[in-house]
Structure 1
Amino acid sequence: MNDLLKPPEENFTALMEFILLGFSDVPHLRWVLFGLFFLIYTMILFGNGTILLITKIDPALQTPMYFFLGNFSLLEICYVSVTLPRMLIDLVTQRRTISFIACATQMCCILILGAIECFLLAVMAYDRYVAICNPLHYPLIMNHKLCTQLLIGSWLSGIPFQVGQTLQIFSLPFCSSNQINHFFCDIPPLLSLACGDIFVNEMMVYIAAVLLVLVPFLLILISYGKIISTILKLPSTASQAKAFSTCSSHLAVVGLFFGSAIITYLRPSNSYSSGTDKVLSLFYTIVTPLFNPMVYSLRNKDVIMALRKFLCK
Structure 2
Amino acid sequence: MIPAAFDYARPTAVDEAVRLLADAGEDAKVLAGGQSLLPLLRLRLAFPELVVDVGRIPDLRGVREEGDTLVIGALTTQHAVVHDPLVRRYAGLLAAATATVADPAVRHRGTLGGSLAHADPAGDLPAVALALDAELVAAGPGGRRSIPAREFFVDYLQTALGPDELLVEVRVPKKEGWGFHYEKFHQVAQSYAVVGVAALVRSDDGHIAEARVGLTNMGAVPLRATAAEQALSGAGDAAAVALAARSAAEGTRPSRDIGASPEYRAHLARVLTRRAVLAAAGMG
TM range (shorter): under 0.3
TM-score (normalizing by structure 1)? 0.23
Identify the structure with bigger relative contact order (alpha carbons < 8 Å, sequence gap 6+).
Answer: 1
